[in-house]
A = this chain, B = another copy of it.
């Protein structure tokens, strides 16, 4: 699917919930879909958007990202001490392992969690966030302090 089509798809969703399709929003979505493998911060998204539309303010980006998160289009994660990172919910049939020693980030597929998911549902009446989550830990072989 082409990213323009996806942008329009999300904008349609936005409009169906009473929002409007503005050029700033289109540019933000375009950025998210183009860099969809990344985990950009709001600031990085803003910079990317401003290469095309220099007058888009950071607050606009934050406001729209909040709305997209409520709509389930993006997820945000706050790792460690830095700012939150955002990514498309649909892109994340994977999860993250972040090494607390060397900072390496590994993506693991979703299937590995299937049995855990079943246990939690059965024993704790709980659904793991289906789209994304992060586990802390460290590489088995990591020698950093």
Contact B140 A125 (CB under 8 A): yes
Given contacts A108-B120, A120-B137, A121-B140, 8 further A-B contacts (CB under 8 A): A97-B124, A97-B128, A108-B124, A112-B120, A125-B139, A127-B137, A127-B140, A128-B137
A91 to chain B, nearest CB (A): 17
Residues of A in contact (CB 8 Å), total 29
Which residue among A115, A123, A129 has the maximum number of chain B CB atoms within 10 Å of its CB? A129
A12 to chain B, nearest CB (A): 21
A99 interfacial contact with B, CB 8 Å: yes
A22 interfacial contact with B, CB 8 Å: no
Known: A115-B116, A116-B112, A119-B112. A135 touches B124 (CB 8 A): no
